[in-house]
A and B are shown apart, each in its own frame.
Chain A
Amino acid sequence: MRSTLIAAVAVVLLCAPAALAHPERETFFPDGSVGSVPKYRTSAGQVLVVCKKDSAKRIRRTFKGSKRLRRLRDTRLRQLRRCRFRHIQAAVNAARSGAIVRVMPGVYREQPSRRAPEPDARCKDDYDAIGSSILESGVTGSGGGAKVANFEYQRKCPNAQNLIAIVGDGPDADRVCDSKCNLQIQGMGRRRRDVLISGRRTKLNVIRADRADGIYLKHFTVEFSDFNNIYVLETNGFRMEDITSRYSREYGFLSFSSDHGLYNRLEAFGSGDSGIYPGSGPEGHCKRYGIEIRRSNSHHNTIGYSGTAGNGVWAHHNEFHHNATGMTTDSFASGHPGMPQDCAKWEHNRIYSNNEDYFNDERDAYCSSTPADKRDPKVVCPTFQVPVGTGIGIFGGNGDIVRDNHIYDNWRDGLKLLFVPAAFRGEPEAGIDTSFDNTIARNKMGVRPDGARDPNGNDFWWDEEGRGNCWTGNTGPAGSEPSSNVVLGLPDCPGSSVFSPGIAAKTASQATCSTWDPYENPDPPGCDWFIRPQEPK
């Protein structure tokens, strides 16, 4: 039986679908000492209008009723007369720095971009290799590095992987935006859904802003990417506002190695990984929070919010609910700048009912037996494993603050704090350097905002590893003490300066979940993450 299993694994490895490596290319943080979140503008030296044949009809149909709406309708129809583009990418190509691109109501499928080949022979040499063959011990392994398209690939072949590419930097070595900086791309419909940008999973990314400092995206709906619906990379100054992202194969809104960013009033659902992903965040080391996420609603994703190396992120007044797991941040991956993760600050959020059962047998069977391009894109197929029924997971975080949130109705754990050794990001010489100085304070556990009791399975789970972690002022229903898996009780603030090595039985019960593979090992022995817990009484 074992030999059969090994043979099957080998076959799967050999026949892995579309050998596209999606880990990030080598990236660098922009200079955080300069830059700012872009502000909304109503005028610019260059205003470009994009429309469809039926935009006027859509404007007349949706802007009707009140006097204010009729006035807006007239304004839109007047603006429509200046329409010169049928595709957003065409307007972006024509844009100079500082331009406003107004997108009139309609469905934008960006057909010319869809026709761009991937891979593109013009860019066949523009790849980085990630993961060298030199192992930790200095021994040469096999497998070499995996290819990932680099910046030159995006610059020279912008629509190979992206339906709409805003690539700001030139061929110089400075990694700073030179053209198409400070663009504002704005849907002009009455509602977000009136401007729909649809990828139909034909491209990895629907919108890519790459070294596109000052990019401002506003007021539309985006769907069906094969990787990210919106992807902001190495960009200093960005703003995503009033946008709905739905049914991305992996991520809804993703920023990476970027700074001075704002996620504002976003909705994300149907993502195979995370609705919102502020990864490789600014290295302000708790003195500065360079990315703000506010008033957003992320639900029915595998994870509502996640961020490997999600540093310097202030997330507040959001809702993360009805995902498999609500929020995570971690130090798992290699090749992500800013490791180990530190200084996320999560305040005044509602993190609740994260019990979506995306790992059950039926879903496993569908997702593993149906090729990605044949799946119903509205069915969430998890791309990574998470513990179903968990509100918050901090996996190898330092200096994170979880404060004044309502965390309830998560049937496994309200918050899970777990260390990750540095070897896991390819830096074994750093030893154990995570799960330090995290503060969990004044959260309402198992209680809805209206005060009604709605318990978590367990409020706090901790592997007891680390130093300086502390819990204070957290309360359960009717002011009761929150529950935890720590027999001797959770440490109060300030946390102990003495390093605690952790409990092997706790960490090992999580290690077993590492081997999850939806194709070959969907239910690993010794792992309970994929069994939705019973609703607690």
Chain B
Amino acid sequence: MSTIISTAPPQTRAEALTRRAVFLSGVATLAVLAVFALTAFGGPARTGPLTWSGKAELFTHPTLPGDRILTGTLRNDGIHPLRVDIGDVRVLTSDGKAVPSNPVFLETFGKTLWAAGRGPQMVPDTELQRTGRITMLHPGEEVPLTIAWHSKDGTPARVDYGDGSLRVPG
């Protein structure tokens, strides 16, 4: 056993194979534990630069009992500016399945400048940002996020935004 955890070079091919097997089984165990953690506890609070700033709230829509809404404020805790397009924001179940949802970087209702079917072929980023379709965050900056979904479609455990993910608060 001592030879298995030794840092000394293996003396024989059999010892090398044994060490490799032990190493791989350790990695596999860690992976299983990670999956278990993601499954059981919703995974780490966050991966990537965004974090919940303050308390995010999850609630049932007051008149649509089958719909859930998550709302909170995100902060860029990273060291680089970050752009997130709303199309990259998804909510995932604990086993990684996407739940159809309705995310927007807004805390309350707002609407676009262009009437339905009237928009320019390329909507300016300013308009996309104003209406919560994209966000550009320097380090330390914050943006609201609201996401809704039908509960019958799944129980999200994480909010994924491409460059990272956040746990959905219980």
Q: Whole-angstrom distance from the CB of A521 to the nearest CB of chain B?
A: 7
Contact partner, A504, options B83, B107, B124, Cβ 8 Å = B107
Residue A14 at the chain B interface, CB threshold 8 Å: yes
Residue B62 at the chain A interface, CB threshold 8 Å: yes
Contact with A along B7-48 (1 / 0, CB 8 A): 000000000000000000000000000000000000000000
Contact A335 B129 (CB under 8 A): no
Residue B100 at the chain A interface, CB threshold 8 Å: yes
Contact B71 A525 (CB under 8 A): no
Contact with B along A498-537 (1 / 0, CB 8 A): 0000001101111111110111010011111000000000
Contact partner, A133, options B61, B110, B126, B130, Cβ 8 Å = B126
CA A372 – CA B118 in complex, angstroms?
10
Q: For residue B122, which residues in chain A have a CB less than 8 angstroms away from its CB?
A: 13, 142-144
Known contacts A508-B69, A524-B102: A21-B136 contact under CB 8 Å: no
Contact with A along B58-96 (1 / 0, CB 8 A): 010111100111010000000001010001001000000
Contact with A along B106-129 (1 / 0, CB 8 A): 111111011111111111111111
Residue A134 at the chain B interface, CB threshold 8 Å: yes
Contact B130 A508 (CB under 8 A): no
Contact partner, B81, options A133, A139, A367, A504, Cβ 8 Å = A139
Q: Whole-angstrom distance from the CB of B149 to the nearest CB of chain A?
A: 5
Known contacts A424-B130, A528-B63: A144-B124 contact under CB 8 Å: yes
Closest to B86 in A: A515
Contact with B along A371-388 (1 / 0, CB 8 A): 010000000011111000
Q: For residue A144, which residues in chain B have a CB less than 8 angstroms away from its CB?
A: 122, 124
Known contacts A133-B126, A426-B130, A508-B107: A21-B115 contact under CB 8 Å: no
Q: For residue B83, which residues in chain A have a CB less than 8 angstroms away from its CB?
A: 139
Contact A526 B120 (CB under 8 A): no
Contact B124 A143 (CB under 8 A): yes
Contact A384 B121 (CB under 8 A): no
Known contacts A421-B108, A525-B67: A519-B126 contact under CB 8 Å: no
Of A147, A332, A504, A507, which is in contact with the most chain B CB atoms at under 10 Å from its CB?
Answer: A504
Contact B120 A141 (CB under 8 A): no
Q: For residue A521, which residues in chain B have a CB less than 8 angstroms away from its CB?
A: 102
- Say which size band chain A's interface belongs to: 35 or more
Contact partner, B61, options A22, A420, A528, Cβ 8 Å = A528
Q: Whole-angstrom distance from the CB of B46 to the nearest CB of chain A?
A: 20
Contact with B along A438-478 (1 / 0, CB 8 A): 00000000000000000000000001000000000000000
Contact A136 B116 (CB under 8 A): no
- B contact residues, total (Cβ < 8 Å): 55
Interface residues of A in 123-153 (CB under 8 A from B): 130-137, 139, 141-147
Q: For residue B101, which residues in chain A have a CB less than 8 angstroms away from its CB?
A: 525
Q: Whole-angstrom distance from the CB of A272 to the nearest CB of chain B?
A: 7
Contact B150 A20 (CB under 8 A): no
Contact A147 B71 (CB under 8 A): no
Known contacts A17-B117, A525-B101: A141-B129 contact under CB 8 Å: yes
Contact B110 A13 (CB under 8 A): no
CA A250 – CA B118 in complex, angstroms?
11
CA A79 – CA B115 in complex, angstroms?
43
Contact with B along A346-384 (1 / 0, CB 8 A): 000000000000000000000100001000000001111
Known contacts A509-B69, A513-B109, A514-B106: A383-B124 contact under CB 8 Å: no
Contact B118 A509 (CB under 8 A): no
Residue B163 at the chain A interface, CB threshold 8 Å: no
Residue A90 at the chain B interface, CB threshold 8 Å: no
CA A33 – CA B121 in complex, angstroms?
41
Q: Whole-angstrom distance from the CB of B96 to the nearest CB of chain A?
A: 13
Contact A136 B129 (CB under 8 A): yes
Known contacts A335-B113, A513-B109, A526-B69: A137-B123 contact under CB 8 Å: no
Residue A94 at the chain B interface, CB threshold 8 Å: no
Known contacts A137-B137, A419-B108: A19-B120 contact under CB 8 Å: yes
Residue B104 at the chain A interface, CB threshold 8 Å: yes
Contact B129 A135 (CB under 8 A): yes
Q: Whole-angstrom distance from the CB of A335 to the nearest CB of chain B?
A: 7
Contact partner, B102, options A9, A423, A515, Cβ 8 Å = A515
Q: Whole-angstrom distance from the CB of B69 to the nearest CB of chain A?
A: 5
Contact B111 A16 (CB under 8 A): no
Contact A511 B71 (CB under 8 A): yes
Residue A264 at the chain B interface, CB threshold 8 Å: no
Q: For residue B146, which residues in chain A have a CB less than 8 angstroms away from its CB?
A: 508, 511-512, 526
Q: Whole-angstrom distance from the CB of A397 to the nearest CB of chain B?
A: 14
Contact partner, B108, options A250, A383, A510, A519, Cβ 8 Å = A510
Contact partner, B118, options A2, A22, A137, Cβ 8 Å = A22
Contact A136 B136 (CB under 8 A): yes
Contact B108 A143 (CB under 8 A): no
Contact A525 B148 (CB under 8 A): yes
Contact B126 A132 (CB under 8 A): yes
Closest to B62 in A: A509
Q: For residue B148, which residues in chain A have a CB less than 8 angstroms away from its CB?
A: 512, 524-527
CA A523 – CA B69 in complex, angstroms?
15
Contact B104 A528 (CB under 8 A): no
Q: For residue B149, which residues in chain A have a CB less than 8 angstroms away from its CB?
A: 525-526
Given A421-B108, A511-B146, 11 other A-B contacts at CB below 8 A?
A16-B118, A131-B113, A144-B122, A334-B127, A423-B130, A425-B130, A505-B62, A508-B59, A508-B146, A511-B106, A527-B148
10 A-B pairs (CB sep. < 8 Å): A19-B119, A131-B126, A136-B136, A141-B124, A143-B128, A334-B127, A383-B117, A508-B146, A514-B132, A525-B100
What 4 A-B pairs have minimum CB-CB distances, sorted nearest first?
A526-B148, A141-B125, A383-B115, A508-B71
Interface residues of B (CB under 8 A from A): 57, 59, 61-64, 67-69, 71, 81, 83, 87, 90, 98, 100-102, 104, 106-111, 113-132, 134, 136-138, 141, 144, 146, 148-150
